[in-house]
Structure 1
Amino acid sequence: MEKTIRALTVAFYSVFILLIGYITLASLVADFSPLTLITLLLFLPGIYFIRRAIFKHDAFMLKHYKKLLFFFAAFMLILQIIFGCILRFDPVFDMDAIYGGAIEWVETGTFASYYDYYYYFPNNLGGMSLLYIFFKLASYLGISDFFTVGLIVNSILSVCAMLICSLTAKELGGAKHAVFILAFFLCSPPFYFIAPAFYTDSLSLIFPILIIYLALRLRRAVQPWQTAVFSVLIGLTASIGMLIKSTVIITLLAVIICLLMNKKLLKALVCCLCSACVIIISLTAFNSYFASRHLTDAEKARIQNTPYTHWLMMGLKGTGGYNAADYEFTRSFEDPIERNQAINREIRRRISELGPAGLIELAAVKGALSMGNGTYALSDFLDDSPVRQSPLHSFLLYSSPYYPAYSSICCGIHLSIMFLAVMSALEKLLAALKKKYTEPARFMAPYIAFFGLALFLLMWETSGRYITNYIPILFICAAQGPELLNRLIFKIKRH
């Protein structure tokens, strides 16, 4: 059994290194910018020395960890809210649907103006519902500036995600690792500007990393009731997260696979059963509510609901991004069965037309666009009719003169962290080959989750936004990357 698990571990980390390494390299080559390369070459030694300084003061970090966490949270929260107010804009398209729909629901008791949209895209009902809850609470206090409410909620959720990411790192490697993780967030510009982009990508930021944290607590659970409680909490977190962004389910699957790989079969079974029950009950209740109270035309829903295969089909054309012609194709059928069959035929045709070489080439393009965009495509929203112009807009908007420089710097930092994740996986691969991997090293869930997201994004519609809610998990994967670099530098010094 141990040999099988070790072989699977070696195989997984090998494939992880190949895939994420390929995407990182493809991202660097695609739309190459000298500034991106310069940023990468400066960031890697910079973050190495930051880590070294933090690790030298391990006792200080442990003693003052709570204070550091508090000041970090206050700093990020204040800056995010200030920048959010400066970057205020008028939401359109999908963000307008969840923002405008939530406001209308609060003010009128329904969101009838957006019913047509939600018949097509019921997957966004979760994001609207989350905003509705906070907008409704704000309305009881006489607050009517719901955009500010939205950005504050998004800021709080994103900062909480950062704190949970740090706590996860603390569980894995102690206070020094926990503080080092915070440096990744401080070095990533988009996290200062994420607050006003309160769409499903950022609203779900907290859920994948929270599942990872709860999974660590589950692994340490001794009593049966603790196992049950943490399993239910994981299921509840996954349920809420999935309602906002369905990719959250990937993390839950990663946790279960990790438990099986760690030979914690009973915990894996309990987690699987509890999570499945909670998810089924939650999703059934949620969908039943909207079907009975708002989107009551079952036949219209059956005809108009966009099938998930639509986005798979769209991901196989051009660069895999949004394609109006594909939407026209999907909506040209009145019979859902005929539509689904036609989409499946088109998917097979496009795969056949691309061939193996074409699919590999497309994977490089999609990987670079979906996973190599260090801005997390926040400008998709910030670009929408800014309320007022500011110096920030001169580099945050797609059409602004300094956006290429901003994008290059962000991508350089992001690709550096991706590279560190590959180095971290290489470190674990070498440990597995030498049979020296410790218990924390056996916790593969973050790597499995990020790998799963990569596979998903290579198949799905292309967008730089879709990686957003997995960035904290990427940081966890990358945190031990400098360790291999440290060992290499030490060996070079010795020789």
Structure 2
Amino acid sequence: MGWDPASTSYVSTKQSLASAGLDINYFSYYPNNFLITAIGRWFWNFLNLIGYHKYSDFVIGMGLLNYILVDLSILLLYRSLNSIFNKKISCLSTFISWIMMGFSPVNVIPYTDTYAYFIGIVLIFIVAKFLYSNTQKKKVAYTILFGLVVGIGYYIKPTTFIFSIALGIIAALFLAHQKKYKNIVILSLLFMLSFGGTYLVINQYQRHNSIVKVDYNKTFPMSHFVAMGMKGNGGYSLSDVKKNIEIKDPEERRKFNNNLIKKELSEKGMEGYISFLVKKQIKNTQNGTFGWGEEGNYLYQLFKQKGLNQLQKKQRKIFMFYKGQQVQGASVNWTGHKLTIQMIWLVVLIGILFSLRMNSFRIQLFKLSVLGGMLFLLIFEGGRSRYLIQFLPFLFVLSGAGMNNLFTALFDKYSE
């Protein structure tokens, strides 16, 4: 592993970031990655307890845990949608998630993408259980559980909060339509208390933990990620990161990033900025492999290992670059996985198009969630499809619903 997964996994296994050639201030810059590191540390302590002490044991163990989360996500999605919609939509959406995520070898990398994917589906599952609860006590319990999971999800990826915003809007509209204003207040209070309590507990744990020291004076402000999201392809900018590190005063750092935002808006103008956003949206959504080929060559080193059997060689040929070469500007291996998954991704997007005319409260929940996710990626750092993984559960639901809508219309037309 490399980049962020390397930093989190090394600290989880009690290795020094400096000895690994990584920035010792990483968690001060990005404190949002603390919780996944803490989870890794708990898992590392468990492995030590049962007699496993090697870093490779941790990598394999966390990889297996990641696949368990992905597989469990697929099962939970099926159960949830079977309750929220019907068996047809449930089967179609689950099949899409199985193809797009269940067969992806990069899920072996323990990082926040698959954790956020799992949390998104857990939230859908809780909503399904709430809708079909037959007692007030159960509804209260599921509301509290929802706030708890959102609180945990916020510290994994803050964007998991988008689904709860969408749900709040839809629930308020639905209950207001039925004139159940008291229910809006009660459910809102329960959620805020549960989420707020979880947030405060994790926040205090993060500030007083024994795993890694976080200096919040060095933390990159939100405006830093907005500024990066406005230049180039709207993605990561090393020059911006270096400049933010050089500026020691938090207030001066905020001013610097605010000035960058103003500069980009001034230079692009309204028309130029809209054109930029259109191109960025394409970058955000175009790649059905979710951009893992852009993550650095550490994913491809195993291709060059000697002593591989025929099955291992075939797997690498399907999922990796041609002859294992992963250099800047290299051609993508379109002979295997990338071509196949891109064709499937196109079908998924077409399915989403056919969901646009569906207007039930339940389908609107997923539309709002996707809209919120897309807006977030347009405003903040994005520019590649890997960031889309956290919103895939909602996209898969819309695609399954759209395909069902299309198949039903075609069946009705040709059965006349």
Following superposition, the deviation at residue 125 of structure 1 comes to: 0.5
> Is structure 2 residue 372 aligned with structure 1 residue 452?
yes
Correspondence for 2:204: 288
Counterpart amino acid of residue 185 in structure 1:
S
Structure 1 pair 158–266 and aligned structure 2 pair: CA distance change class (3 A): farther
Following superposition, the deviation at residue 213 of structure 1 comes to: 2.1
Superposition TM-score, scaled by structure 1 size:
0.72
Residue in structure 2 matching 1:409, options 340, 346, 361: 340
Q: For residues 340 and 279 of structure 2, what CA distance do their matches in structure 1 show?
A: 20
Q: For residues 115 and 284 of structure 1, what CA distance do their matches in structure 2 show?
A: 26
Question: Does the aligned pair in 2 maintain the 1:231–1:275 contact within 8 Å?
Answer: yes
Structure 1: which 5+ runs fail to align?
Answer: 1-90, 430-436
Q: For residues 364 and 155 of structure 1, what CA distance do their matches in structure 2 show?
A: 34
**Quick one: higher RCO (CA 8 Å, sep 6+), 1 or 2?**
1
Q: For residues 267 and 409 of structure 1, what CA distance do their matches in structure 2 show?
A: 48
Q: For residues 93 and 290 of structure 2, what CA distance do their matches in structure 1 show?
A: 19
Correspondence for 1:209: 121
Following superposition, the deviation at residue 295 of structure 1 comes to: 8.1
Residue in structure 1 matching 2:262, options 343, 348, 373: 348
Q: For residues 216 and 469 of structure 1, what CA distance do their matches in structure 2 show?
A: 19
Q: For residues 494 and 285 of structure 1, what CA distance do their matches in structure 2 show?
A: 59
Question: Does the aligned pair in 1 maintain the 2:82–2:89 contact within 8 Å?
Answer: yes
Q: For residues 265 and 453 of structure 1, what CA distance do their matches in structure 2 show?
A: 28
Correspondence for 2:35: 126
Following superposition, the deviation at residue 457 of structure 1 comes to: 0.7
> Is structure 2 residue 216 aligned with structure 1 residue 301?
yes
Partner of 2:246: helix, strand, or coil? coil
Structure 2: which 5+ runs fail to align?
Answer: 304-312
Question: Does the aligned pair in 2 maintain the 1:424–1:484 contact within 8 Å?
Answer: yes
Question: Does the aligned pair in 2 maintain the 1:259–1:267 contact within 8 Å?
Answer: no
Correspondence for 1:199: 111
Question: Does the aligned pair in 2 maintain the 1:227–1:270 contact within 8 Å?
Answer: no
Cα displacement string for residues 302-323 of structure 1 (whole angstroms, at most 9, x for unaligned residues)? 1x10111111100100111111
Cα displacement string for residues 152-194 of structure 1 (whole angstroms, at most 9, x for unaligned residues)? 1100111111111111210123333333323213432674314
> Is structure 2 residue 349 aligned with structure 1 residue 418?
yes
> Is structure 2 residue 389 aligned with structure 1 residue 477?
no
Correspondence for 2:149: 237
The root-mean-square deviation of aligned C-alpha atoms, in Å, is: 2.7
Correspondence for 1:392: 315
Matched ranges for 1:174-189 at <5 A: 174-188=86-100
Following superposition, the deviation at residue 98 of structure 1 comes to: 1.2
How many residue pairs were aligned? 387
Cα displacement string for residues 117-156 of structure 1 (whole angstroms, at most 9, x for unaligned residues)? 1111101011112222222222211123111101011001
Cα displacement string for residues 5-51 of structure 1 (whole angstroms, at most 9, x for unaligned residues)? xxxxxxxxxxxxxxxxxxxxxxxxxxxxxxxxxxxxxxxxxxxxxxx
Question: Does the aligned pair in 2 maintain the 1:212–1:255 contact within 8 Å?
Answer: no
Superposition TM-score, scaled by structure 2 size:
0.84
Question: Does the aligned pair in 2 maintain the 1:420–1:480 contact within 8 Å?
Answer: yes
Q: For residues 23 and 45 of structure 2, what CA distance do their matches in structure 1 show?
A: 18
Q: For residues 317 and 177 of structure 1, what CA distance do their matches in structure 2 show?
A: 39
Following superposition, the deviation at residue 102 of structure 1 comes to: 0.7
Cα displacement string for residues 69-103 of structure 1 (whole angstroms, at most 9, x for unaligned residues)? xxxxxxxxxxxxxxxxxxxxxx1221111111111
Q: For residues 422 and 221 of structure 1, what CA distance do their matches in structure 2 show?
A: 32
Correspondence for 2:285: 371
Identical positions, percent: 20
Structure 1 pair 173–283 and aligned structure 2 pair: CA distance change class (3 A): closer
Structure 1 pair 222–465 and aligned structure 2 pair: CA distance change class (3 A): same
Q: For residues 267 and 102 of structure 2, what CA distance do their matches in structure 1 show?
A: 38
Correspondence for 1:275: 191
Structure 1 pair 360–409 and aligned structure 2 pair: CA distance change class (3 A): farther
Matched ranges for 1:17-416 at <5 A: 91-104=1-14, 115-144=24-53, 145-188=57-100, 191-263=103-175, 265-294=181-210, 300-302=215-217, 304-380=218-294, 383-384=297-298, 386=300, 388-389=302-303, 390-397=313-320, 399=325, 403-405=333-335, 406-416=337-347
